Chains A and B, each alone.
Chain A
C-alpha cells in the first residue's frame, strides 16, 4: 500500500547523523556497543529520513538503545516496548519502527506482547539482544539461561528450562525469523538490512555477550577457534555446510536432519536452505542443542524463515477505507442525533 512507504531523506546521511549527543553508558566491553555501531552504520543505507525512524525500548541494558540513536525514540517500561510500538505503528504506518529488547524484557515480563506482536504481524523490526542473563538488575538468570544456570538468584543452579526464542517466535506466527551475533559485524549488518526490507514483523535474535555477568555465554559460537565447527551460517539456495574446513553438511533423512561428511555425499543430497520453507525452518529452529552434548547439531545463524502474511496496520487502514467507501465519511451531526429523536416545543 502506497501510504506505508517511508519518505526518503533529502540529504545523504552517515552513521554519525544517527549518533545522539548522549554518552553511551554500557559497561566497557559489552556486546551492545557493537550492535549499536552496526545499527548506526546500516541506517544511512536504508534510505529513510531520520525523522521517520523511531526506536522503542523497554527496560534493561539493551533498552537504553534509543537514547543513543539520533532519531525519534521512546524508552518505555519493562517488557512493553512491543506494545508501545504497536500503537505507534498502527497509527503511523509510514514510520520505520525498531524495537530493542532483551531476553528478560521480551521473553519474560513482556513475553505476552512479543507473541501477540508476531501474531498480528505489524511491519516493525524486533532486535532481541539475548545475553541469557539479567544485566541491569545485576545478574539473575533469565528465561533464556540454560537449565542449571548458576546466578545470583540461583546459587545452586536454575531448575527451569529455557525458552528456545526462535521456536517461540515461529510458533507465534512470526514472518521473519533470524539469528545473528554481536561479534560478527558483517553478518549482523546483512541481517539488519534484510529485516528492514521484510514487510511484517522481523524478529532478529542477536547473541550478545554480557561480559560482566555472563561472560562467554556464546563464545563457542563467536570465537575463532570453535566458531566454524559450532555454527551453521545459512544462505538461501545454498547447501547447509559447516565445520572448520566446511567439511560437514546437513542432510535430511526423512524428517530427521543428520550430519554428514560433505565428501561422502553428492552435493544434491545436502539440505539446500530455503528461507520460505516453514516446515524446514521449524526443524532449523530446533537445532538448539547444548554445544557440550555429544553429537549435537551446530547452531544456525542467518534467516530461518520469511513469509508473506497480511500486515496488521494495513488491514486496519484498509478496513477504515472500506467502511468510509460503503457508508461515507462520518458526519458528526448524524452521530450526535442517533437513530431516533423527538422534539419538544
Chain B
C-alpha cells in the first residue's frame, strides 16, 4: 500500500447491529483459530458479550484444501446478552473452496461471503470435489448472498514483497490480512492484536513487524477499496459491572482445580493420559508448576487413575481427567476408589461415542456411564458444567464435595464448552470459600481383643455425613490397610458376610444421597415457577436452551427453564419444581439419558428432544420444539 492510497478517505455508511455471527473457515494451516481468537479478544475488550465455538477437523494434518481439512472458528458477539455461538452465521470468511463448501449451509440468506480467490483455483475446486468446470463464485449459486472476492494471498504477498521472507512464510501471515480487514469492517481497533503480536514474537522481532504490516494492509484494504461501502458497529453489551476476562472451558476447569487445591491447602495431583478433547486440561495444569501442581502423564488411562488413587491415599487432592473411552478404561479403578472411600475427582470431557466415535465433536452421551457404568453397585457423585466459565465453578464444586464427603466425584463437561469461550467475571481469590480438610490424627475407637479393650484407629468409622476419616501415611499410630475387597464397617476388615455386604452397598449409596444436603437447591433459570412447559436441561445445552426460552417468553409462551448441574445426588427440591409444569421437555445431545433418570426418579412422562450429530443444538431448533409443544 502506498501512502497516497491510504490518504483517500471515502464516505462509508455506518450501520449499527445488535449481534453478529462470523464464521472463519480454512485449512487447519491457515491460522483460522488464531484469527478467531484475536477478533474475539478485541471484541471482548470492547465490552461485547461473546460466545465462540472452534470446530477442528478430526485429522491433525488432513491434506491441504480438502473437506476433511477444514477448520472453523465461529464467533457470536453482540450488544445484547449472548448465550450460544449462534445458529447461523452473518459472515462467512473462507480461505478456499473446501471451506466454502463445508460451511455455506450455515450462512443466513443475505449473509456476506468473503472468499480468498486464490483458494478457488482448479486444484482447490477439485480438492473440494466441485464438478469439473464449476466454480461456486462464478456459477450464480451464491446469488442470495453478498459475495466479496478478495485475492488475499496476492495482496499479502505484495505487502511483504522485499521483506526477505520466503513465499511459504509470507503466506502464513495471510490470516492477519483477513483479521485486519474484519477489524475495519466492524470498527475495531488493531491495538490488542498488535500488542499480542509483540508478546507472541518477543524472540522473533522480524515477525512482529511483518505480521503487523499485513494486519494494517488488511485494515487499509477495507478503508481504500470502493467495494466496501458499509461498516458495522456493535456496541458494548449490558453486562453486570465488574472485571472480565475471556475463558475457555478446559482452561476454566484447570483453574478451578488449582483454586480448590489452594483453598483446601492440599497438593494438586493430576494423573492423565492424552486424549481429545481433554488434553488441554493437562497442558494448562502443567504450565502452573509454580502452584506446586504435580502433573503425571501416565502410560495409560488405568495408570492415570491409579496414580491419582495413590496420591489421594497419600493426602493430595487427586484428579484424573479423560474423555469417554478413557473413562471406560478407568471403570474398575473408580470402583476401587468407591471402596476405599477416598477423595478423587474424575473429569470426563465428553465427545461423540461409542468407541473412538467422533473424537473432535461434542456429545452428552456419557451420563449413564458416569452414573452407572461400573461393575457392582458403585455410586459416585456426578456434577456437570453448563458453560465454559461454569467449568471453573463445577471443577471447584467437584473437589469440594469429594473432599468433604470422601467420595469420588465425576465431573462432566464436553467438547463444546471445553473448547468454547465466553467472557468471565472471574472471582477474587478471597471470595472463594475455604475447603476444610481434617486429616485424622488420633485413634477414634476401640476393639475388643479377648478380654482387653484396645484403642484403635477405625478407618471406616463414620460421621453424620457417613464420611470416613482420612488418615494419611506418616501419621503415627494410625497405620491401617484398605482395599477393594468388601469390608466390615468401622474396622475395614475384610468381610464376606452376606448381611454385611448388603449393608455396605446400601451405606455407600446413602452416603452419596446425603451429599444432597450439601448442594444448592435447584433454581429456575428463567420463567415462572408454575406453567405449561418446563425445559429441563443439563450440561452444555445451557446457552441454546437459555436463548430459546428467552425468545419464547418474549413471544408470550408459558415456558420456564431449569438447568441441572448436580446430577447425582439431584437437588432435593427438583421433584417439586417438576410437579409445577404440564410438560417437561428435555433437550439432550444423546438418546435421552437424563430423561431416563428423571423418569426413573420421578415417574413423570418427560418429552425427549435429542440431537446426536456431534454439533450443539441451535437455539432455533429448541425454540421450534417449544412452539410445537405450545400448540
A227 at the interface (CB under 8 A from B): no
Is B397 part of the contact surface with A, judged by Cβ < 8 Å? no
Would A344 and B244 count as touching, CB distance under 8 A? yes
**Considering the chains assembled together, what is the distance between the CA atoms of A74 and B336 in angstroms?**
10
Give the interface segment out of A31-39, A76-84, A212-220: A76-84
Residues of B within 8 Å of A54, CB to CB, are: 313, 473
The residues of A that contact B303 with a CB separation of less than 8 Å are: 80, 83, 86, 112-113, 116
Q: Are A66 and B481 in contact (CB under 8 A)?
A: yes
* Additional A-B contact list (5), CB under 8 Å, known A87-B310, A90-B294: A80-B303, A84-B306, A116-B298, A324-B289, A336-B427
A91-99, A147-155, A247-255: which lies at the interface: A91-99
- Number of chain B residues whose Cβ lies closer than 8 Å to a Cβ of chain A: 73
Return the chain B residue nearest A55 by Cβ: B481
B546 → A minimal CB distance (Å): 20
A–B complex contacts, Cβ < 8 Å, 25 sampled: A20-B481, A21-B449, A55-B481, A71-B479, A74-B313, A75-B485, A77-B335, A77-B336, A83-B298, A83-B306, A83-B307, A83-B310, A86-B306, A86-B307, A87-B308, A87-B312, A91-B294, A92-B473, A92-B474, A320-B293, A324-B292, A329-B290, A333-B429, A338-B247, A342-B244
Q: Looking at the complex, which of A44-52, A175-183, A276-284 is the stretch in contact with chain B? A: A44-52
Please, which residue of chain A has its CB at the minimum distance from the CB of B428?
A333
Q: Does B242 contact A (CB under 8 A)?
A: yes
The answer to whether B483 and A83 have CB atoms under 8 Å apart is: no
Please name all residues of chain B whose beta carbon is closer than 8 Å to the beta carbon of A345 when the two chains form the complex: 241
* A residues apposed to B, CB below 8 Å: 20-22, 49-56, 66-67, 69-77, 80, 83-92, 94-95, 112-113, 116, 316, 319-320, 323-324, 327-330, 332-333, 335-345
A80 lies within 8 A of B246 (CB): no
Write out the residue numbers on chain A whose beta carbons fall within 8 Å of the beta carbon of B302.
80, 83, 113
User: Could you say which residues of chain B place their CB within 8 Å of the CB of A88?
Assistant: 310-311, 313-314, 473
| Contact indicator A77/B290 (Cβ below 8 Å) | no
B333 within 8 A of A: yes
B112, chain A: closest CB distance, angstroms: 27
Residues of A within 8 A of B332 (CB): 77
Closest to B259 in A: A332
Chain B residues 248-299 with CB under 8 Å of chain A are 255, 258-259, 262, 267, 269, 271, 288-294, 296, 298-299
Q: How far is the CB of B261 from chain A (nearest CB, A)?
A: 10
Q: Is the CB of A320 within 8 A of B311?
A: no
A47 to chain B, nearest CB (A): 16
Q: Which of B41, B236, B429, B478 has the most CB of A within 10 A?
A: B429
Which A residues touch B315, using CB under 8 A? 91-92
Q: Which residue of A lies closest to B237 (CB)?
A: A344
Is A344 touching B309 in the complex (CB atoms < 8 A)?
A: no
Given that A76-B336, A91-B294, A316-B294 are contacting pairs, would A50 and B479 also be in contact in the complex, using a CB cutoff of 8 Å? Answer: yes
B626 shortest CB reach to chain A, Å? 31
Distance of A70 Cα from B478 Cα, bound (Å): 10
Q: Closest CB-CB distance, B548 to chain A, in whole Å?
A: 26
A87-B306, A91-B311 given; A319·B289 CB < 8 A? yes
Name the B residues within 8 Å of A341 (CB-CB). Answer: 243-245
Which A residues touch B429, using CB under 8 A? Answer: 332-333, 336
A88-B311, A332-B429 known; A95+B473 contact, CB < 8 A:
yes
- Report A-chain residues with C-beta under 8 Å of the C-beta of B480: 72-73
The answer to whether B484 has its CB under 8 Å from any CB of chain A is: yes
A72 near B481: Cβ-Cβ < 8 Å: yes
- Proximity string of chain B (328-341) to chain A, C-beta cutoff 8 Å, 1 when within and 0 when not: 00001101100010
Mark contacts of B435-459 with chain A using CB atoms, 8 A cut-off: 1 yes-contact digit, 0 otherwise: 0000000000000010000000000
B341: min CB distance to chain A, Å: 13
- Whether A344 and B241, one on each chain, are in contact in the complex, defined by CB atoms closer than 8 angstroms, is yes
CB within 8 Å of A: which of B462-512?
Answer: 473-485, 493-494
* Chain B residues positioned under 8 Å from A92 (CB to CB): 314-315, 473-474
Q: How distant is the Cα of A52 from the Cα of B335 in the complex, in angstroms?
A: 27
Residues of A within 8 A of B475 (CB): 51
| Most B-side CB within 10 Å, residue of A90, A316, A342, A343 | A342
Q: Which residues of B contact A75 (CB under 8 A)?
A: 481-485
- Determine how close the nearest CB of chain B comes to the CB of A82; give it in whole angstroms: 8
